[in-house]
Amino acid sequence: MRKPFVAGNWKMNTDNHTSLELAKRIASGSREITSHNASIAVCPPFIYLQSVAKVLSASDIAVGAQDVYFESKGAFTGEISPLMLKDVGCTYVLCGHSERRHVIGEMDELINKKVTAAISGGLLPILCVGELLNERDAGQTEQVINRHIKKGLAGLSNEKVSAVTIAYEPVWAIGTGRTATPQQAQETHDFIRKLIAQMYNDTLANEIRILYGGSVKPDNAKDLMSRKDVDGLLVGGASLNADDFLAIIRAAV
Residues annotated catalytic, as ranges: 97, 169
Least distance from C-beta 133 to ligand 13P, angstroms? 14
Which of residues 4, 125, 170, 237 is near ligand 13P by CB under 6 A? 237
Residue 74 or 177 having the CB closest to ligand 13P: 177
Which of residues 22, 90, 127, 216 is near ligand 13P by CB under 6 A? 216
Task: Please state, in angstroms and rounded to a whole number, the distance separating the CA atoms of residues 65 and 80.
Answer: 10
Interface with ligand 13P includes 215 (CB under 6 A)? yes
Which of residues 235, 248, 251, 252 is near ligand 13P by CB under 6 A? 235
Nearest CA-CA partner of 67 in 100, 20, 103, 41: 100
Phi-psi region of 85 (alpha: psi -120 to 50; beta: other; left: phi over 0): alpha
Interface with ligand 13P includes 220 (CB under 6 A)? no
Could you give the angle at which helices 16-29 and 242-252 cross, rounded to 10 degrees? 40
* Per-position x/- string for 83-122, each x denoting binding to ligand 13P as judged by CB under 6 A, each - no binding: --------------x-------------------------
- Which residues in 72-227 belong to E strands, given as ranges? 92-95, 124-129, 165-168, 210-213
Interface with ligand 13P includes 244 (CB under 6 A)? no
Residue 53 or 174 having the CB closest to ligand 13P: 174
Task: Please state, in angstroms and rounded to a whole number, the distance separating the CA atoms of residues 95 and 69.
Answer: 10
Residue 96 or 121 having the CB closest to ligand 13P: 96
What one-character DSSP code corresponds to residue 104? I
Which of residues 49, 68, 234, 247 is near ligand 13P by CB under 6 A? 234
AA identity, residue 166:
I
Distances (CA, A) of 84 to 19, 93, 125: 20, 12, 15
Q: Which of residues 118-177 bind ligand 13P (CB under 6 A)?
A: 169, 174-175
Which of residues 121, 213, 218, 232 is near ligand 13P by CB under 6 A? 213
Task: Please state, in angstroms and rounded to a whole number, the distance separating the CA atoms of residues 168 and 128.
Answer: 6
Which of residues 5, 6, 9, 30 is near ligand 13P by CB under 6 A? 9
Q: What contacts 24+ positions apart, CB below 8 Å, involve 202-205? A: 204/158, 204/161, 204/162
Residue 122 or 175 having the CB closest to ligand 13P: 175
The total number of residues written for the chain in this structure: 253
Q: Site residues (CB under 6 A) for ligand 13P?
A: 9, 97, 169, 174-175, 213-216, 234-238
